[in-house]
Chain A
Amino acid sequence: MNSVADLDPRRDMGLIRERIENALSSGKTVTDILQDLATRNPIALADLVVGPKAPTHPAWVRAAIDVIDVLEGSLAPNGLYRRLVSLSPETNIEVLSVAARRHPSASWLIELSRHVEGQQAGLTHLLASVGHPAFAQNCWEHAAAGHLPGLIAVAEETGCPEPAAALAAQGHIDAAALALVCALRRSHESPVVAMTAAAWGPDLEVVLLKTLPHLRSRAVAETLREHTRGYPGFFSLLETVIRAMVQT
């Protein structure tokens, strides 16, 4: 039996809160308390977790994540996850990951990502939504929000073509070029050149030229050459660059 099992959530909220604080400060688990409250009174649980007097201990946030199904039944996800993030900086990424997995197409994740990840905004959200129908839309929204390093990191980690295409579509040409190289580095078969052209327009050479400073490996340069045979000006320039590169 947990330490609040004998208390009535409607009447003894102050006492419940006190016992939870005691459990947290003595390092005891509170997961069983939250699960008990989730069963008995989800509204009281929601008040405890995100109300103005909510504990700000990382273990509390982690326990809340364990009963996230119940919490989402009582609270709008946008406000719920924002509040969880505000409770404990230490668990921010965990909260964002859960939010991104459960709501991959939610537009509020763009702002939440920026708040939690700063410079790397978009990384957690996009990695969680790879393969989801909303992935492309998410890339476009993060690109529009200027989350360039996050998108480049996703291209590097997944080889997906969408980050480079989204960056090009939003006019971030340098970042698009770097994301393009990163995608090809990860996956030589990535249709990143084709997708970037589909987003940017048929005259892709201006973007392709920006890839040159980012080509550190001859293998990646040769892959890029294979994908850009249709752009003879760039193709010829890249051949010259490749000849000057050492084998890697």
Chain B
Amino acid sequence: MKLAAYLHGAPGRLPFIGHFRLGRQEGPLSIAMAGCVAQRSDLSSAFRAAREVEAVLRNVSLTAAVDRHDLLTITWEALCGIEASDLGPQGGADLTVLLSAADQQGMGIAGMGLGGVWSWADDALQPLVTGDHPLLCGPGRPDRLPGVLTLDAPASVVVAVPYDHPVPTLPLTELAKNCGVHL
């Protein structure tokens, strides 16, 4: 199953400062990630940091992964392996990321810096977590992968808002555009 992860943009004219997004497939395994880093620093630093994250995630070997848990762990380790100096002035302490991984048995979602997470299908949004779920937490780059949310039913498109999004809700109107997705 091909997965997509989208992170909602910030308010303002430049909603996607420091945003990154990537999807990969390795046989029956799929992973999608979206996030932002250094979003409050200058434009060029944030841009470089975001491309660095994408490059690391694009190049990390997934051949050792046998299931979605491995995918998430390998990806998280790759994120943690990025030099702090490559992640903008805060060295990755402001990292917001949404990871969605699937194997033949199910799906797992993990992340940092998220204020709300939904599945998006058939022009409808379904909230995946409630307010006190550990998936909803502040930004950063802890050494270990934070708790993983396991889904019984697969969600091929997952959308999140960052922890500091003004309102932790997600209107459907222009949702794709607001996530920087141009279909």
Q: Is the CB of A193 within 8 A of B47?
A: yes
Note all chain B residues with C-beta closer than 8 A to A166.
13
**Which secondary structure dominates where chain B touches chain A?**
mixed
Interface centre among B15, B16, B17, B46 (most CB of A within 10 A): B16
Docked pose: A200 CA to B182 CA in angstroms: 9
Is the pair B44, A202 in contact by a Cβ cutoff of 8 Å? no
Decide yes or no whether A140 CB sits under 8 A from chain B.
yes
What residues of B have a CB within 8 angstroms of the CB of A200 in the complex?
Answer: 16, 180, 182
Closest residue of A by beta carbon distance from B19: A202
* Chain B hits for A202, CB < 8 A: 16, 19-21, 34, 50, 54, 180
A198 CB-CB contact with B under 8 Å? yes
Those of B145-162 within 8 Å (CB) of chain A: none
How far apart are the CA atoms of A231 and B58 in the complex, in Å?
11
Q: Compute how far the CA of A166 lies from the CA of B12 in the bound complex, rounded to whole angstroms.
A: 12
Considering the complex, which residues of chain A in the window 167-212 have a beta carbon less than 8 Å from any beta carbon of chain B? 169, 191, 193-195, 197-203, 206
Residue in chain A with minimal CB distance to B35: A202
In the bound complex, CA of A212 to CA of B110 (Å): 38
Query: Which of A203, A231, A232 is most buried by chain B, counting CB atoms within 10 A of its CB?
Result: A203
- Whether B43 contacts A203 by the Cβ 8 Å rule is no
How far is B51's CA from A197's CA once the two chains are assembled, in angstroms?
11
Task: With both chains docked as a complex, state the minimum distance between the C-beta of B88 and any C-beta of chain A, in angstroms.
Answer: 12
Known: A202-B21, A203-B182, A230-B48. A194 touches B16 (CB 8 A): no
Q: Answer whether A201 and B47 are a contact pair too, CB < 8 Å, given A206-B182, A230-B54, A232-B58.
A: no
The answer to whether the Cβ of B179 comes within 8 Å of any Cβ in the partner chain is: yes
Contacts of B46 in A (CB 8 A): 194, 198
If A206-B182, A230-B55, A232-B58 touch, whether A199 touches B16 (CB-CB below 8 Å) is yes
Q: Which residue of B lies closest to A201 (CB)?
A: B180
Known: A165-B14, A197-B16, A198-B43. A203 touches B180 (CB 8 A): yes
Determine the chain A residues whose CB is within 8 A of the CB of B181 once the complex forms: 201, 203
Is the Cβ of A203 less than 8 Å from the Cβ of B21?
yes
Q: How far is B181's CA from A195's CA once the two chains are assembled, in angstroms?
A: 16
Q: Is A28 an interface residue (CB 8 A)?
A: no
Whether A230 contacts B182 by the Cβ 8 Å rule is no
* Partner among B47, B51, B182 whose Cβ is within 8 Å of the Cβ of A198: B47
B86 nearest CB across to chain A (Å): 12
Interface residues of A (CB under 8 A from B): 136-137, 140, 165-166, 169, 191, 193-195, 197-203, 206, 229-232
What residues on B are CB-neighbors of A203 within 8 Å? 21, 180-182
Bound CA–CA A140/B14 (angstroms): 11
From known contacts A203-B182, A232-B58, infer whether A198 and B17 are also in contact, taking CB-CB under 8 Å: yes
Total inter-chain residue pairs, C-beta < 8 Å: 69
Question: For the complex, would chain A's binding face be called helix, strand, loop or mixed by DSSP majority?
Answer: helix
Q: Is the CB of A199 within 8 A of B51?
A: no
Decide: A201 near B19, CB < 8 A? Known: A194-B43, A195-B43, A230-B51: yes
Q: Is the CB of A198 within 8 A of B16?
A: yes
Q: Which residues of A contact B16 (CB under 8 A)?
A: 197-202
Can you list 9 A-B contacts (CB < 8 A)? A166-B13, A194-B43, A197-B16, A198-B16, A199-B14, A200-B182, A203-B21, A203-B181, A203-B182
Q: For A206, list chain B residues within 8 Å (CB).
A: 182
A165 to B20, CA, bound (A): 17
Interface residue? B108 (CB, 8 A): no
Please give, as numbers and ranges, the residues of chain A lying within 8 Å of B20 by CB-CB distance: 202
- Residue of B whose beta carbon sits closest to that of A203: B21
A149 to B41, CA, bound (A): 32
Answer yes or no: B9 CB below 8 A from chain A CBs.
yes
* Nearest chain A CB to B95 CB, angstrom units: 15
The 0/1 profile, CB within 8 Å of A marked 1, for residues 36-73 of chain B is 00000001101110111011001000000000000000
Q: Are A198 and B14 in contact, CB atoms less than 8 angstroms apart?
A: yes
* Bound Cα distance from A230 to B51, whole angstroms: 5
Interchain CB contact under 8 A, A194 and B47:
yes
